[in-house]
Amino acid sequence: MSGRWSLHEAARAPATRDTTRLVLEGDGLVAHLSAMTVQHGGPELYASKAAELGQDPLRADADVELLWAKVSRSSKSAGALLMDQACFAGVGNIFRAEILLVSGVHPELPGKSLTRAQFDTIWAASVRLMGRAFTHGSIVTVSPEEAHAAGKPALRRWIYNSARCGKCGGAVKSWQIQARTCYACERCQPIDGRTGAIAPADAAPPALFNSQCASESIEERLRTPQKLRVAELKAALEQAGLPTAGKKGALVERLQKHVTTAGGPGGRAPPP
């Protein structure tokens, strides 16, 4: 599931690269598909792959009852089921975090322990959040109205790659589910051992990073120095009149201390 489409005007299309696997041309446009590997085939390949997929929240003909029957019998956690393309087609790691947060469901809750109401809430959230992202052409799961109501007009996502929950301000914990980082808010997604959910022993404050899939502006990332690149950290430190020597960890600590004590790095860092 790794690859990238790029669209260009035909007269300005760049040359293909070693990783360009497919070029589509027409109506004055050129599209390049860049990926490590691509499997080629005809309608039979498409049909076989489509048959392996579960229910797609973006499709009006999704069979919710079929999905409920599968989920309600499963011992897998809700977090694992949402990433299982044979169950929820199209849900990735960012959507998993956001869907479960707005649904108030802990990622470790087993599918067979979900009530029908909880499942319906998860499905409705999947349809709403993925539909919003499709409309915007970007993974934005927070509406402008919700962001303003939360007092955070620039908020784009509730919990993914965040140390604090965008809804309640509570601490966020992260851990691994099938080698992918999972997020949960301790307040909004309380865990109940009576349901068969077990608190992950390795849950810890998340390691924040500059996500390419869930991009943030430089202004947003200045508030969370861990998400800045080294060049951006040095630019922000220089603008604040602070030393710029050291490895990234030291730069982050220095800028974070400044942000905490001085109320901010003093404006936008110049581009590296």
pLDDT at 268: 42
| Cross-strand bridge partners of residue 183 | 174
pLDDT at 20: 92
As given in the structure block, the two tokens for residue 193 are 């051992």
- Taking only the tens place, the pLDDT of each residue in 228-246 is 989 999 999 999 999 999 9
The confidence band for 69, taking pLDDT boundaries of 50, 70 and 90, is very high
pLDDT at 109: 96
Whether residue 265 is predicted with pLDDT greater than 80 in this model: the reply is no
Phi-psi region of 238 (alpha: psi -120 to 50; beta: other; left: phi over 0): alpha
pLDDT at 112: 96
pLDDT at 193: 76
User: Global pTM?
Assistant: 0.81
- Taking only the tens place, the pLDDT of each residue in 21-65 is 999 999 999 999 998 888 888 999 989 998 999 999 999 999 999
Mean of the per-residue pLDDT values for the chain?
90
pLDDT at 272: 39
- Taking only the tens place, the pLDDT of each residue in 121-159 is 999 999 999 999 999 888 999 999 999 999 999 899 999
pLDDT at 263: 64
Which of 77, 80, 76 lies closest to 91, judged by CA? 80
The confidence band for 264, taking pLDDT boundaries of 50, 70 and 90, is low
* C-beta separation of 205 from 172 below 8 A: yes
Task: Report how far residue 78's alpha carbon sits from residue 109's, in angstroms, rounded to the nearest whole number.
Answer: 6
Whether residue 250 is predicted with pLDDT greater than 60 in this model: the reply is yes
DSSP secondary structure, 45-81, as one string:
HHHHHHHT--B-TT-TT--HHHHHHHHTT--SBHHHH
- Taking only the tens place, the pLDDT of each residue in 178-193 is 999 999 999 999 988 7
